Amino acid sequence: MPRYYFDLRDDDELALDEEGLELSGLRAAQVEAAKSLADMARDEACSSAPVNGTRHMAIEVRDAGGPVMQVRFTFEVETLKH
């Protein structure tokens, strides 16, 4: 089974995945990346830190040969005045 690495991008910060996961293929890697990104987005939405503006989050998936996909999420909050 191929090993996929899931690097986390949060705006300009990148955290490299050194361990990776053995998965059956690219579709399984896509599902794993989407789940991880959904968790990141949920944590951001529930954070007690004030959010104003736009946050860009992504999971960059790579295998032994290099990058294979990027799954992105943009979280935007616009405060409306009454």
Whether 31 is covered by a domain: the verdict is yes
pLDDT digits (tens, 9 = 90+) for 46-77: 775 656 778 889 999 999 999 999 999 988 87
Q: Which residues face 73 on adjacent strands?
A: 57
Q: Which residues face 63 on adjacent strands?
A: 66
Tokens of 74: 């943009």
pLDDT digits (tens, 9 = 90+) for 7-56: 999 888 999 999 999 999 999 999 999 999 999 888 877 775 656 778 88
Whether 82 is covered by a domain: the verdict is no
Domains identified in the chain, total number:
1
Domain range holding 21? 3-77
